[in-house]
C-alpha cells in the first residue's frame, strides 16, 4: 500500500468517525489521546482492584473485601463515559486489550500472595497516580477550551481522591500505636 493510499484511508476513517464539534482539531487529538491513556489506566486499575478484592484474606477480610468491591465498581463506572467522551468530541478510543497493555501506567501485580496492607498501599499509590494523570488531562482540556470534559474529569478526580483517602485511612496505624 502506498503512502498516498494509507493517507487516504486515514482520512476516510477520520471522516467516518468524526463528529461535529467546535473544538480545534489539535485539541480533539490531544484530549482524545489523554482520555485514551487514562482509560487504559482505569481498566488496569479496575482489574488490579478486583484481583486484590478476590485474593483478600486476614482479620479485616470483610471490611477490605467490601471496600475493594465498592472501589472497583466505582472505577469500572468511569470506563464508558471516558470512552464515549473521546468519541463525542470526534476522537477515538481503545480498540483492544493489547492497546490497554501498551498504554497503561498501572503496574501489574501477579504475585501469588500479597498482604492486605501491601494491597491497600499499592492501590493507594495507584489511585494517587491516577489523580495526577486526570489532572494532566484536565490541563489539556483547559488549553483546548473543552469545559465539558474538564467537568467530568473534576468529578473523577474527586472520586479518585476519596478512594485514595479511604485506602490511606484503612492502613493508618491506630493513634498512639507503635509502627
In tens digits, the chain (179 residues) has pLDDT values of: 555 644 444 444 455 667 888 899 999 999 999 999 999 999 999 999 999 999 999 999 999 999 999 999 999 999 999 999 999 999 999 999 999 999 999 999 999 999 999 999 999 999 999 999 999 999 999 999 999 999 999 999 999 999 999 999 999 887 766 65
CATH assignment at residue 79: 1.20.1260.10
Find the domain containing 68 and state its range: 22-170
pTM of the model: 0.88
Cα distance between residue 113 and residue 106, in whole Å: 19
Cell 486526570 belongs to which residue? 134
129: left (phi over 0), alpha (psi -120 to 50) or beta: alpha
The total of structural domains in the chain comes to: 1
Q: Does 98 fall in a domain?
A: yes
Q: Does 102 fall in a domain?
A: yes
Mutual orientation of helices 25-54 and 61-76 as an angle, nearest 10°? 160
Amino acid at each position: 500500500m502506498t503512502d498516498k493510499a494509507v493517507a487516504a484511508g486515514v482520512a476516510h476513517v477520520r471522516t467516518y468517525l468524526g463528529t461535529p464539534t467546535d473544538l480545534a482539531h489539535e485539541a480533539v487529538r490531544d484530549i482524545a489521546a489523554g482520555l485514551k491513556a487514562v482509560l487504559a489506566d482505569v481498566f488496569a486499575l479496575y482489574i488490579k482492584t478486583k484481583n486484590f478484592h478476590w485474593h483478600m484474606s486476614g482479620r479485616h477480610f470483610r471490611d477490605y473485601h467490601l471496600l475493594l468491591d465498592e472501589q472497583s465498581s466505582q472505577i469500572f463506572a468511569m470506563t464508558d463515559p471516558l470512552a464515549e467522551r473521546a468519541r463525542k468530541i470526534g476522537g477515538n478510543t481503545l480498540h483492544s486489550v493489547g492497546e490497554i497493555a501498551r498504554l497503561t501506567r498501572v503496574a501489574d501485580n501477579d504475585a501469588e500472595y500479597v498482604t492486605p496492607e501491601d494491597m491497600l498501599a499499592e492501590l493507594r499509590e495507584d489511585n494517587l497516580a491516577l489523580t495526577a494523570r486526570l489532572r494532566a488531562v484536565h490541563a489539556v482540556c483547559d488549553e483546548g477550551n473543552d469545559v465539558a470534559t474538564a467537568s467530568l474529569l473534576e468529578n473523577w478526580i474527586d472520586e479518585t481522591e476519596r478512594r485514595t483517602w479511604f485506602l490511606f485511612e484503612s492502613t493508618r496505624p491506630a493513634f498512639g500505636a507503635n509502627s
